[in-house]
Structure 1
Amino acid sequence: MKKLGVLTSGGDAPGMNAAIRAVVRKAIYHNIEVFGIHNGFQGLIDGHIEQMDIGSVGDIIQRGGTILHSARCEAFVTDEGQSRGIEQMEKRGIEGLIVIGGDGSFRGAQALSEKGYPCIGIPGTIDNDIAGTDFTIGFDTALNTVIEAIDKIRDTASSHERTFIIEVMGRNAGDLALWAGLADGAESILIPEKQDAMEDIIDRLKRGQERGKKHSIIILAEGVGSAFDYADDIKRTADLETRVTVLGHIQRGGSPTASDRVLASRLGAEAVDLLQAGQAGKVAGIQNNQLVHHDISDILSKKHTIDMNMFQLSKELSI
């Protein structure tokens, strides 16, 4: 392989820049030319492609977001859009593509692979909702952002003796809520995979009151429902003053943690190695701290699962 392309797609995640850097420098180390594709698959269709060198990725390993930018692209769902993307790469002699993103991005990579164009996926999403890997790029940074916010909110909750519901990202996966709730001693953790009845939430809050607890923290993943609706139910049912904080896109930003930088660097380099080895239609990941790869089709057909032992532990420690 003499030339490869790299793009980021879907929601941005801290550590994407570290992955781009690893792809570029690993490839150049092996005398492979690298082309950065701006604005995801839309940029691929439009031909927003430029050759990158070592200097192109200098001083970016510590930066959040993605220097290649990202965009949603409805056109790439179509055969016409995919063919146009392949045409743009063939015009420049690009022989393989590395796609950094989540499951939506991998569907685009899968479509290209099925058309005979070699693609490798790198999991980059703060939700940690990709099967076949223990962690995705961005999850650890987002988790630490959430924990820092909860720590500060707890100070206010304690001062005013109130219950706070903190809504975090996680439409289909509760990893952020579960890990943050366990790390910060939340009274209740509400996740899409395992939803507690309102009666159980109220009972836990009341038990805390009975032993003199003055404030409570509830962590809710956005896929469960609106934090404001839960707050209204708690006020109406238990007559407890409840406040809501929706962390929103603050969870996506910030300088990546050391863990995310190392993970991104390892996965970026592994993606280059896979293309060099003639692999196509694969997703690189990490399991038990060892690099692995799986077929994109297998990854997309499986559902990410949370660690239910962690969920049970959170209940046992929040009595």
Structure 2
Amino acid sequence: MEEETVMEKKKHKGKHDKPKPWDEDPNIDRWKIEKFDPSWNEGGLLEVSSFSTLFPQYREKYLQQAWPMVKGALKEYGVSCELNLERFVKRRQHLVGPNSSTLKALEILTGCYILVQGNTVAAMGSFKGLKQVRKIVEDCIQNKMHPVYHIKILMMKKELEKDPTLANETWDRFLPKFKKKNVKQKKVKSKEKKPYTPFPPPPQPSKVDKLLESGEYFLSERKKESKKWQEKQEKQAEKTAENKRKREAAFIPPEETSKQDSRNHEDQNKDVAAMAMSLKEKAKKLKKQKYAENINAEEYIAASGEESSKRKKKSKHS
């Protein structure tokens, strides 16, 4: 019986699940992490993997600062890593375009072969084309101008090159000028920092506490309802009075000018009328004396005007 029980203990479910000599070795520490030795992998092993994760925007600066330490720690184990933040990935996508259409258009217009891989943009072509490619890439990554606008400018330059009369002129007047439009973002209101106190803030009074303070807690339901109705009537009366005041404001007449202003205006009108009458009388006298004496009309009117002004001054002083 004892031999049968020992045989049953030794039996295992799997075909290859046999006892190993190191399973019950007390000298082996299974929790020990052994240091990586490069001699274990002399030929090297290439395996590429990538992953993405969401994180708040304010952590970008921390990731950029801490990433060199992460790279240094992984380099000991022969692992290289790259950090691609989301905004640069978006800008790189602007350069490539949907189905690489933007990249193909740039290659046709600049006459250069362009390759975008990771954080690197490689180009091969003429000196003039390479200068254009560099300008486009820098403006895209620095978020100065979208590559589509550069494509429009290059297409217009291609058309202008066909006209020989414009060879020695500047093309600035023909080229479009794009202005960068920044969408205004909502400003986050910064809360004022209160002085630190180790004690918690005092508890806010509840509705029951407020009713106890005002004395409404001890009122009957009928009195509470009557008080609410009275408050409602007061609010309605205030509102009706305000609406009435607004309606009546349209029928209020404007302020009239003062009596002194009206008197001054009347005096001015009288002076003008008197001057007109005096001129008419002088004109009649001139007609009568025209044939009798040779009189200059301008001198006569000027002399009579001086006399009238002197008379007015004397009357005012009196």
Is this a same-fold pair by TM over 0.5? no
- Normalising by structure 2, report the TM-score: 0.19
The structure showing larger relative contact order (alpha-carbon pairs under 8 Å, at least 6 residues apart) is: 1
Higher helix share: 2
